Amino acid sequence: MYEAFRAYFVENRPSAEVAKAFGYTPGSFRVLCHQFRRDDAPIFFVKTLHGPRSQPKKSTARDVIVQLRKQNHSVYEISEELKSRHMLLSPTAVREVLKEEGFAPLPRRLDEERPYRLTPTAEPIADVRSLSLAPRTVTTSCGGLFLFVPDLIRLRLDNLARAAHLPGSKMIPAEHALRACLALKLWCVERRSHVMALVADEGLALFTGLNAIPKKSFLSEYSSRVDPAKNSRLLATWHQLVEGQHLFVGDSFNLDFHSVPYYGDNPVLERHYVSARSRRQPSVLAFLAQDAEGRAFCYANADIRKGEESEEIFRFITFWKRTHGQNPRHLVFDSRLTTYPSLARLEKMGITFITLRRRTAKLLKEIAALPRSAWRTIELDVPTRKYKTPRIHEQTVALAGETFRQIFIRDLGHDEPTLLLTNDRRTSAPKLITRYAQRMLIENALSDAVRFFHMDALSSAVGLKVDFDMTLLVIASGPWVWA
């Protein structure tokens, strides 16, 4: 508009030519020229501003800000002082006012030159050489841990770390590192929020025998130094320590898998079925064995690859024989734990087992074709059970070159019949059914352990390796059973 007016008024070019050159119609340009002649202060060259024209908060606090800066207060100190005077202004707004007033930033000051304020405290570094046993009163939120001290002394837990050749240092020896990891598992502290909230807890540090609990970075790195061989030695040494303590009766074992889900981005992890979510997702598959009578976990392994699931039961058998000198006598597990050829191997090894058989269409058709006279009613000696009089049909079946005892069960509280498979030919059917029903307790125990020991925490702040975490679960379950 300025250039158009200049061409018309200063250069005396015709209005029609100017209008065409600058994109106006002849009539609209003549109207603009008429308005310009009668405007005392034309503002056509000023950019129109949008938004608020004033800043009440800054304007009110401007004099106070300048006064405080002349006393060498920083923008944060000025913001806090304004807050105490009920003039809320952020440090960024204070910095803008000072810049408008021409103040340069203050030179960086040393910590001792700054005024006192509440700041994060630097907690001591874990070092056994700095531990003080002087008499004093300690306030702790983990006082219940000291109830486990008699058991740990009786079992000589310090020997466990040394015998398993666990890593350690002068500042945090192996036995202290193991106690630190075990303390968090015994106290059932959730991994995604633990440790850093407890670094100032003197009672927890005293339980581990250190001046302070190790930080999460140490625990994450430490679990990576415990390889599968050390984990195996740790489990074997634990069994030696508890021998004669009646923790593992060893007459019968419940076996099961558990998928520990992972919610991060790691393409290396394989996808396994997660029962809690009824889907397959990236997870770590863990194998657990529980003593049926003692209810304590006695074996765990999370170093399992896809396709190796059926062999895990024999790794447990090998471990038990190496540790106790004989094979486990009785195993109870789900139908998906292993394969029919593996059942034949158990038969040849003389190990009694109870499992279920999958309900295929062919087997369901065979069951439906059985006459009513082929079924007999039995009574289960479980007073609290609702369905105590199921109907059964027994037969011998050949699988993988071996013969097994197969029991079809109806009226057990399920819509579909249950198919029990075993190589136990002496025990009565009611006792076999009752014993397998007790296997469901390991699923309950797994569910309890997931919540109680926080097993599903792979994306937590403390990235413990899963196999080491499972080993800690086995060790921690013992004192809790005694408790």
The predicted-structure confidence for 349-358, as pLDDT tens digits, reads as follows 999 999 999 8
User: In this model, does residue 443 exceed pLDDT 90?
Assistant: no
Q: What is the pLDDT of residue 369?
A: 93
Q: What is the pLDDT of residue 43?
A: 65
Question: Which range is most confident: 117-131, 236-250, 255-269, 317-331?
Answer: 317-331
The predicted-structure confidence for 321-376, as pLDDT tens digits, reads as follows 999 999 999 999 988 889 999 999 999 999 999 999 988 999 999 999 999 999 99
Q: How would you label 313-334 residue by residue, b for 16+ Cβ within 10 Å and e otherwise? A: bebbbebbeebeeeebeebbbb
Q: Where are the domains of the chain?
A: 2-37, 56-113, 128-225, 231-479
How far is Cα of residue 475 from the mean position of the Cα atoms in its chain?
19
Tokens of 226: 């415990």
In 337-428 the beta strands, taken as DSSP E runs, fall at 352-356, 376-377, 391-399, 402-410, 418-422
Backbone angles phi, psi at 406, to 5 degrees: -120, 135
Q: CA–CA distance from 453 to each of 61, 115, 186 (Å)?
A: 54, 45, 8
* Model confidence band, residue 459 (pLDDT cutoffs 50, 70, 90): very low
290, containing H or E segment: strand 279-291
CATH architecture of 231-479: Alpha-Beta Complex (3.90)
How far is Cα of residue 419 from the mean position of the Cα atoms in its chain?
36
- What size, in residues, is the chain? 483
Q: CA–CA distance from 197 to each of 330, 350, 437, 447 (Å)?
A: 44, 52, 42, 26
Q: What is the DSSP string of 207-228?
A: HHTSSSPPPHHHHHHHHHHS-H
**Which residues touch 88 (CB under 8 Å, ≥6 apart)?**
57, 82
Q: What is the pLDDT of residue 460?
A: 47
CB neighbours of residue 84 within 10 Å? 7
DSSP state of 108: P
